[in-house]
A and B are shown apart, each in its own frame.
Chain A
Amino acid sequence: MSRQSLSKAHKKITELSWEPTFATPATRFGTDYNFDKAPKKDPLKQILRSYFPMEEEKDNRVFGAMDGAIRGNMFRQVQERWMEWQKLFLSIIPFPEISAARAMPMAIDAVPNPEIHNGLAVQMIDEVRHSTIQMNLKRLYMNHYIDPAGFDMSEKAFANNYAGTIGRQFGEGFITGDAITAANIYLTVVAETAFTNTLFVAMPSEAAANGDYLLPTVFHSVQSDESRHISNGYSILLMALADEDNRVLLERDLRYAWWNNHCVVDAAIGTFIEYGTKDRRKDRDSYAEMWRRWIYDDYYRSYLIPLEKYGLKIPHDLVEEAWNRIWNKGYVHEVAQFFATGWPVNYWRIDPMTDEDFDWFEYKYPGWYNKYGKWWENYNRLKHPGRNKPIAFEDVDYQYPHRCWTCMVPCLIREDMVTEKVDGTWKTYCSETCAWTDIKAFRPEYEGRPTPNMGRLTGHREWETLHHDKDLAQVILDLGYVRDDGKTLIPQPHLDLDDPKKLWTLDDVRGINFQSPNVLLNEMSDADREAAVAAYTAGGPAGRPAPAPAA
């Protein structure tokens, strides 16, 4: 379709909407934002006549590549280290995608602009595409990769695992609470505009470097839809900015959404890229370098900062602090170490780091070895069963962390942990911003202003609470992370499938008591709690307990 006929066709389809007079569409999802004064902003022109064939063509290319990968025996060249992390990633990501589809009517309810409605409805269809194409990719991995365990229980594991729950925010956050907070600021303005860059562009390039060219095929195809979604979000954002009263909410939501996306996405994608790769060329970008390019330069400097002139208050401090956490506070390394500590309750295997990895980390992150090297050496030493327990239950100078009540990533930068009694429970937060999110932002009033539509943080937010004081073997059985012989664990702290003696079984983890740090914290006396918190915040890096005070 030519550009001229596209414009004409688009103008024609805008005639389809009308102002109802008998009854107005049900408002299922409220917002505290106001759009009465908003000038209508156009998103990209989207017409289903050209949309469906375009997407079909994109699909055909994806499915052609899938056929080619199988015929070309791609799995003879994929790195197991990489593929194992896909068991986690691909269990999470189809849910955020489908949640984005579900979020569209929330934005439609909230924003009185039929042209945006049209763009949002097209996005809804895109998101069904993304979710199912990703599920189908995972199905292919399950069928053709050497170790299907973990892929085979994917969506169940996603729903009952601590890491799945962290990822689930990137999905539930799109569909719950204030419609604009969820479906516009969190989903589109931050998640899609900023963080799909690392999710769908940076990560696939790492996949290709590890012999997997299907992940880039699928995810670049997905990413090619994102520019339209970004346009939808931008249009709504500009409409919201037209009303002064919205600005305090925009400031709140941008702070929450930015920080939560950083906590969640950088934890996961940073780990996959840095610890899931075998590509240790020193001139390949580290996650920090990718982040600087894709998030800091492309999003923050090129997209966000220019919005200041429209009155948007940009969370400069949080952008800088996110970078500070990644570059100076070792956020990604701390998270990867935690994932590896918790290997018995994962549904994927984690390869130990080698000397070549150490060398690369030291080159990319000077000082890395002094912080993390010893622990990874211990991980390697303790990787097989028989003479030792899983590393989390051995003395390796690591204190199992408290979990952040808000982002649910543990409080790994120990000195930043905030502890507060909120709603009658002692809660720990990884940062001041996560504490603010729970205590101030997700409340029915914000800075003296009623916010009756704002959501709530709910659920059993500390995963360990569900399994407190149980035998570790029972925890794993309850989770279902056991292979089809009924005893070998799906997770393993290594990739050695050759020798059955090297594979951990339920017997190897029986008799180990599993405990929840939050339950224990709440059981303490005030004095003990204060001392425990002080000791915890004095600990780290790399999870090291604080040295005992001199006698």
Chain B
Amino acid sequence: MTATAEPTTSSAPPENVRSFPKPAFTDAEAGAKTFPSSTSRSYNYFTPAKKRATTYEDVTFDVQPDPARHLTQGWIYGFANGPGGYPQDWTVLRSSDWHQFRDPNEEWEQTIYRNNANIVRQTQQNLENAKAARAYDSWTRGWTTFVERDLGAWMHCENGLGMHVFTAAQRSAPTNMINNAMCVNAAHKLRFAQDLALFNLDISESGLPFDGSVHKAVWHEDPVWQGVRENAERLTAIGDWAQALFATNVVFESLVGVLFRSHLVMQVAARNGDYITPTIVGSGEHDYSRDLAYTRVLFSMLARDEEHGEANREVLQGWLAEWVPVSLHAAHQLQPIWSHPGERVVPFAESLAAATADLTNLLTELDLDVPKELSE
């Protein structure tokens, strides 16, 4: 094979002469001249939610184009069996204007990195401090086993949802605003799962009797965790992105995620001599409160859509009927772990009642009927 001839001009500067671009004063700054549009200094192709567009709106809106807005030539690549781009029928829910959705967290790169970097820095400092203070030595045996087995099992769930629910779903929604919110949700889940895994690694190396590998067997085989694993796996199998989001963030997280993190771990850790775990799990809870905020806004918008609200509520009601029993089953299967910690300060029934109350409130906010299973 012979390559085509290379360029024939020489790039070598004359000897001993440095070559560099010459600065030129062009006076090309705003306001230097007045002419039509010389003061048109805001993106004018979308209507901000408030009077002025936020940075978040400016850097997110319409970056994913839409044939229903400005995309005149349509999607130029298609799938073998359907249109390309972001078809609206990748969910059965309908909206008269998907572009109304704004993420209340206003996530863009600065918020993503600031928030998550803060969390991992704080987590690392806490863990270093815990090691130096030999904080794990004061744990009860029962609590150590709980962290080893149950918190260890939970991190799989966070990772699985991050990778196969939220990462997957962010390909599919009709607007950039929705997809970015789900993408940040994925980042939260994956980071939290890794935080827990590295916490597990730290404890393994702390000298405490602690089996850092047993979490895999617990997640795979321990009967109390199989309901959660089944629920998580079934969530990853949902093809409709909005259903996956709803069944995960509204149903599963309320009945299982918050139940485990908030209404068990956060309540009993300190009583068992552990001040480290709540700082890590608390960050996961904080993530979820942000993720629930965008989820709530999205499904409120869809449930109250003037044109499609009624049909959407019917669909959501169907999803509740399908997923509430699955998550309740998972929650009930978890019940035995309430007795694993040495200090048991909260009964399962109380934790579950708090979780179902939260979900009931959320569903009421969404104008949805509360499934009968939640009041049983």
Contact = CB atoms under 8 A, between A and B. Distances in A.
Do A and B truly interact? yes
A286 B7 contact: yes
Contacts of A118: 163, 190
B248 to A, nearest CB: 13
B9 interface: yes
A101 to B, nearest CB: 6
Interface string A105-120: 1101100000001100
B201 A16 contact: no
B162 A121 contact: yes
Given A25-B164, A52-B120, A18 B156 contact: yes
Contact of A98 (B160, B176, B198, B238): B176
Interface in A406-461: 408, 444, 452-461
Contact of B108 (A18, A132, A208): A132
Contacts of A63: 110
Contact of A364 (B6, B9, B164, B170): B9
Interface residues of B, number: 116
A21 interface: yes
Contact of A125 (B64, B112, B163, B215): B112
A179 to B, nearest CB: 10
B171 A102 contact: yes
Contact of B8 (A17, A133, A285, A366): A366
A168 B73 CA distance: 11
A372 B4 CA distance: 23
Interface in A294-315: 296
Given A121-B190, A124-B170, A323-B4, A458 B76 contact: yes
Contact of A460 (B62, B74, B194): B74
A288 B8 CA distance: 11
B85 interface: yes
A456 B28 contact: no
Contact of A135 (B39, B58, B72, B113): B58
Interface string A333-370: 00000000000000000000000000000011010000
B141 interface: no
Nearest to B2: A320
Given A16-B197, A139-B43, A500-B35, A279 B76 contact: no
Contact of B72 (A284, A456, A466): A466
A2 interface: no
A154 B76 contact: no
B21 A281 contact: yes
Interface in A437-493: 444, 452-461, 463, 466, 483-485, 487-488, 490
B80 A454 contact: yes
A503 B213 contact: no
A73 to B, nearest CB: 6
A22 B28 contact: no
B236 interface: yes
A377 interface: no
A76 B3 contact: no
Nearest to A20: B233
B9 A363 contact: yes
B61 A497 contact: no
A283 interface: yes
Contact of B33 (A56, A324, A498): A498
A168 B229 CA distance: 40
Contacts of B117: 52-53, 55-56
Interface stretch (B11-19, B294-302, B341-349): B11-19
Contacts of A175: 77, 84-85, 171
Given A13-B193, A286-B7, 4 more contacts: A105-B168, A121-B162, A159-B66, A320-B3
24 contacts: A9-B201, A15-B197, A18-B216, A23-B233, A48-B116, A48-B191, A48-B194, A56-B117, A77-B23, A77-B26, A103-B171, A132-B108, A136-B59, A143-B41, A146-B27, A146-B31, A148-B41, A160-B73, A172-B77, A176-B78, A208-B21, A458-B74, A461-B73, A466-B72
